[in-house]
Chains A and B, each alone.
Chain A
Amino acid sequence: MAEDTFLADDLLRQLMSVGEVDLLVGVSSHNAADKLGEAVQAIERCFQQFFVRQRVVIVNIDGGDKEPPQDDPAASPVANPAQTAETIVPRQGITSLRTINRVTANYSAPPSPGTALRTLLAAADLLRARACAVVAPATCSLTPDSIAKLLRPAYQDKFDFVAPLYSRHKFQGLLARNLVYPMCRAVFGAAIRELYTDEWGFSGRLAASCLNQNVWHEEAIQTRPEAWMALSAISSNFRCCQTFLGEKPPAARGPATDIVEVLRQTVGTLFWCLETRPSLWLDAEPSPSVTTFGPDHELTTERSDLDPHRIFAMFRTGVTELEPILSSILHPDTHVEIKNLVAIEEGKFRFKPDLWVRTLYDFAASYHHSVINRSHLVQALAPLYRGMTHSFLLEHSDSSPAEMEASSEMLCSEFELQKPYLRERWKTKVEVTS
């Protein structure tokens, strides 16, 4: 075990009573205790339907809750080893031949996804789990089938990282579509569409590898560890795949919908990965596409009540008001082009892909050179992202899913085409005089 002093005695005692397992599913019940019961039932049904013969365990990572529920099925300190599936959920035809163990890990550290994942990886490593999945009851509508889809590629097909894929509304997930996915694909050679997600699967080998890395104190890892895990898998030549899970549930109110907070968590982590692993991407070539189980993408086109006018107004104001900050981040030519965009009439506004790519690469290089405080730098991206979003909404108001996919591919190509520009900016700092 890599971290034999990290786990609490109580958790160690629980894990030792479980012994070795084939499958492990981790649930982080932090501030989601009301949905924990449903999640545990879905996981147990998954085990009973799809993994009847396997040794399994459910690990609840409990980081505390503002309002703990009265009858929390996984809140009991542990699982009685004699407690079988039949006593937890009613019989539904096929039942598990093995005990479904349940373990609850309470950690005193401030609750964070990074701490939860680290605990889970340590548990997986100790139990020698062959395949693991992380699910989040707070944001996802879990079904036995979706959990099985995350576990099966790692357990049966020997994949090491299993990313989910979702059916989405065509105007949802624009940060992933226009920034995270194309940039990661071009820079890291990682053609994984959903790098920032609340549910994913991984192998025991990858768990052990990630656990041994000395990064857990980093803020980027504490907030969004899943993208780092995917990039670690790619960089260490682990096998990655994607699996289609169905419709993406809408995010609950809170930090997940605040664009500045989302940018800090996602783009901040992405830039941090660029910064800490330059050898991984500086000379990397685009990798072949990742194996996908199910459809590669699916878009729906229901009506939406988005307000492009407000988004454009915020872009305009942002570029004007943040001029001194943007001038220290962007290359002078890029900055001039963006300032020119502000003068364009709203209806004719287009944020061209090449300018968007150069803008992002300038931000990444400036993050590397620390031209300003890094948190401020990522926040300064918000108005420009809004500009790109507005352009996207105008351009694709009547586009079909196929057209949008073609446009997305073009953007990915642009990112790959301009990668030398990022390399150049990364290695040489542009002195800005003001």
Chain B
Amino acid sequence: MLEIRREIVDALIAHARRDHPDEACGIVAGPVGSDRAERHVPMVNAERSPTFYRFDSLEQLKVWREMDDRDEEPVVIYHSHTATEAFPSRTDVSYASEPNAHHVLLSTRDSDAVEIRSFRIVDGEVMEEDLRIVEELGTDGRAAGRSPVWE
């Protein structure tokens, strides 16, 4: 299951609409191992194509270094399809290179209703998962049901 804030979903949809008819792409970073999609980073589609996307290699190095410095990883890798459904294509599956990421697909083929879905892609297998849109991300164990800490 991917839990993601409405504000970020709105930003992903806006990005996909803005780049239509080319595919839009980017990441949502979060602390390593946390599975929390917290920081949206729209990326340039170096292919500028309606059927293909690829992160610009120098931008990718910059963004990956920034994540390293902040102890983050790409929790979500997203891109849009502009004429087909929001489901990973064969190319998406064969190039998927971050086994821990949620792969979020958007479809802008219907300009009134952008479709958004989330998948895991591991060893060439695609599994759809629930995408839950929330106002705030769930709190972790420290905040839930524990006594306050007095100092």
A and B: bona fide binding partners: no
A: residues with CB less than 8 A from B are none
B: residues with CB less than 8 A from A are none
